[in-house]
Amino acid sequence: MSLKGTRRRGSELEDAILSAAWAVLIEQGYPNFTYEAVAARAETSRPVLYRRWPQREDMLLAVLRRHWWSQPIPVPDTGNLRDDVITFLRSASTARTRMVAMLSVQIMDYIRETGSSFAQLRDALRPAGLPNAFEQMIARAVERGELPDRPRPPRMVNMPFDLFRNELLMTMREIPDETIIEIVDVLWLPLLGYRGRAG
């Protein structure tokens, strides 16, 4: 049934717009991600979009934020850091590979046009003030006595996901289990001073 003739408001209207905008982005790419195309797909008017997102970049970030965080990857709590991180990376490989592959192609024009970077885009999409998954897993490991309680630079904390993301962008395929285990066991845990479960 067509949406024309129905009066949508609030979250119902915004959901319809963001769903339409996602479809335009994936099917047509960022160059065709315009107010006109999104309004036509959502069967609404351009002023409705302008009121919510005055700049095209605002609309893009709203779309990416909605679809990236609509299915968050749970932060495991298995009882030890090693299994937590391996479980998290396996879940990320299953859940994010297809989306990252699509977006790395469709968003490249946005990166070029705005002179920004994937790191800046990631920071814009990340919820402010919340610890990321690796900060949470390390904090629990410290409480359990698996790690010494000392400051660690963000690059060290996030190294498994940085290596994972690099592998994903280079291959555009799900990450093999042996690669995940190598990242965790060979590279990361020794760097952290991991000593396993206390006792």
Supply the pTM of this predicted model.
0.81
Could you state, in order of their start, the residue ranges of all structural domains in the chain? 10-67, 73-192
Question: 5-63: per-residue pLDDT in tens?
Answer: 467 778 899 999 999 999 999 899 899 999 999 999 999 999 999 999 999 999 999 99
Q: Which CATH class is domain 10-67?
A: mainly alpha
Overall fold of domain 73-192: Tetracycline Repressor; domain 2 (1.10.357)
Q: Which residue has the tokens 């495991």?
A: 76
CA distance 141 to 108: 37
